[in-house]
Structure formats: structure tokens, C-alpha cells
């Protein structure tokens, strides 16, 4: 019986996140204040009292979700994960939890990542869409067809669970793909309220910025494996972890495959640490026999 700790990504944020931790635990308060100093502004104030619109900005959302998840993990007394994983941004939280990255280094990388992604989003209009009720291979086929027919970029981005795959690309590419997904039998094809094509080739400018920062950062040997999005398998080699973290920015989040790999390697219990309960729901859709809990 193995215990997996999993960490959410962008989209799980909410106003007031982390306030209870700040007010009730001196260590949590100290970590929030460290983050405020590193960020150069009081990100804790935005988290605790900001509007949904304030929290939606990528350069705020990503460090805020990371911060909440990592501090929540540090409040878990005696937490000893057998394995960790994070959804997209959540992979950075997972790498703090298993000792690969220090809190300070990870926060700096997340901030650089968020700012670089924000800039990449401004270069070309792009978006994402959730495709529901269609097999993964059919979604992949439609994406390829749209790219060949139109020359527009559209790729699978997030393999969330069976029957739920998020695609990413140019605005025109996503529009065309959604039409074809519905024609192919998708129950729904919903354009998401995001300002960019995350996990697609359109994030290449951000990838180059992040790669330089990651290469300059010390990655330690972890205390347990991380199941990384891009490869969906256990990784412990710091050099491999670095490369996979860089590739994740333009590659797909293979969450379904990652959870399946953790289960194959013995995971029976999943604890989601951070804001929201999205990942618990996805785990149960992947395998309803798993035990899931959350801590925020």
C-alpha cells in the first residue's frame, strides 16, 4: 500500500485561499512573508482578499496556487509520501514535497514561469477547450486533421481522465477543432476562459526563458519518485527531472497516464494538497477503487 501526494494546478484558485493557514500557524505565516519578499509585492493580500479577477492573472495565479499547496503540505505533520505528482503547475509543488527543490528556488521558478507564460499569451491570440465524451485517440486524430487542413496549431494538452481531454492552440484552430469534435461525437466541446494555449508549441518563447532559469537552479536527489506530466512515469534522477520540467511547458499533461502509473506501482491512497478538490475527482474517474482525501 503506497501513499501518493498530488498537487493541483492553475484553475483551482479561490479568494481567501490560505488565509486560515496564515492566521493559525506561525510557520505558515513566516513562509507567506518569505514569499511576499521574493515576489516583490504582498501576494498573500491578493490571495486572502483579492477578487476572482485579480486571482485569474497568470502571473498571480501560478505563484498563489503553488504557495498555498506547499505551505499546506508543510503543515501536514509526519507526511511521508511514497510518490508525488502535480498537475501542470502542481509539479513544482510536488518537487518541493519530495525534496528536489527548495521552497525559495521553486517559488522563483514558478514566478519566472508565470511571467514568461503571460508574455507568450500576449504574442498570439490563443486558447484552450475541454472535449468531453470522446476517446483520446479520436481527439488526437481530429487535432492532427485540423492542423493539416488549416495550418493552425491545435494539440492535446491535458489528459485529465477518460472522456475528458483539454486541447490547446490558436483561437482559429480551437474553433475549427471544436466543430469537428462535435461532429465526431463529443458530448461537449467547451472553449475555456483562459488567455493562452498552455502546453502547446505556442508556449515556446516561455519555455526558452524557463529553461535558462531551471538550468541555473540546483535540483537535489528526491526522497521519493515524482511522476512527471510529460513522461507519466516515476523519475528520481535530478537531470531527468529538470529536462522533463522544461519540456512540460510545450508538451501535454498526461495526468490520466500518470495516475495509472502510480496505481500500477502500488498507490492505493491519494492525498490532494492545496486549493480545490479537482484532482481527487479525476483520480476516482480514473480508478474508483482509490482512497482520496484533501488538505488545504
Residue numbers annotated as active site: 88, 199
Q: How far apart are CA 109 and CA 213, in angstroms?
A: 7
CB 116 within 8 A of CB 32: no
Strands 267-273 and 291-295: parallel
Nearest to 295 by CA among 89, 79, 96, 73: 73
CA distances from 133 to 138, 145, 181 (A): 10, 19, 10
Cα 191 from Cα 52, distance rounded (Å)? 19
How is residue 193 annotated by DSSP? S
How many angstroms separate the Cα of 9 from the Cα of each of 3, 12, 91? 20, 6, 8
Amino acid at each position: 500500500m503506497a501513499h501518493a501526494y498530488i498537487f493541483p494546478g492553475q484553475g483551482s484558485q479561490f479568494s481567501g485561499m490560505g488565509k486560515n493557514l496564515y492566521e493559525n500557524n506561525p510557520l505558515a505565516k513566516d513562509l507567506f512573508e518569505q514569499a511576499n519578499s521574493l515576489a516583490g509585492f504582498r501576494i498573500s493580500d491578493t490571495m486572502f482578499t483579492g477578487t476572482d479577477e485579480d486571482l485569474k492573472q497568470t502571473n498571480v495565479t501560478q505563484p498563489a496556487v503553488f504557495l498555498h499547496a506547499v505551505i499546506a503540505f508543510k503543515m501536514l505533520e509526519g507526511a511521508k509520501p511514497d510518490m508525488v505528482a502535480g498537475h501542470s503547475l502542481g509539479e513544482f509543488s510536488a518537487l518541493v514535497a519530495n525534496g528536489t527543490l527548495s521552497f525559495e528556488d521553486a517559488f522563483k521558478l514558478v514566478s519566472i514561469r508565470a511571467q514568461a507564460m503571460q508574455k507568450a499569451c500576449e504574442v498570439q491570440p490563443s486558447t484552450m477547450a475541454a472535449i468531453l465524451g470522446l476517446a483520446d485517440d479520436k481527439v488526437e486524430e481530429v487535432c492532427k486533421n485540423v492542423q493539416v487542413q488549416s495550418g493552425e496549431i491545435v494539440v492535446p494538452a491535458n489528459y485529465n481522465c477518460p472522456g475528458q481531454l483539454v486541447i490547446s492552440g490558436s483561437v482559429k484552430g480551437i474553433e475549427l477543432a471544436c466543430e469537428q469534435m462535435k461532429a465526431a461525437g463529443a458530448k461537449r466541446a467547451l472553449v475555456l476562459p483562459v488567455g493562452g494555449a498552455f502546453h502547446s508549441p505556442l508556449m515556446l518563447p516561455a519555455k526558452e526563458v524557463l529553461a535558462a532559469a531551471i538550468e541555473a537552479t540546483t535540483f537535489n536527489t528526491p526522497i521519493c519518485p515524482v511522476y512527471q506530466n510529460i513522461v507519466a512515469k516515476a523519475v528520481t534522477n535530478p537531470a531527468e527531472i529538470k529536462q522533463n520540467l522544461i519540456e512540460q511547458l510545450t508538451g501535454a499533461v498526461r495526468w490520466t497516464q500518470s495516475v495509472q502509473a502510480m496505481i500500477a506501482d502500488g498507490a492505493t491512497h491519494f492525498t490532494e494538497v492545496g486549493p480545490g478538490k479537482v484532482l481527487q475527482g479525476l483520480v476516482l474517474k480514473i480508478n474508483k477503487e482509490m482512497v482520496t482525501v484533501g488538505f488545504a
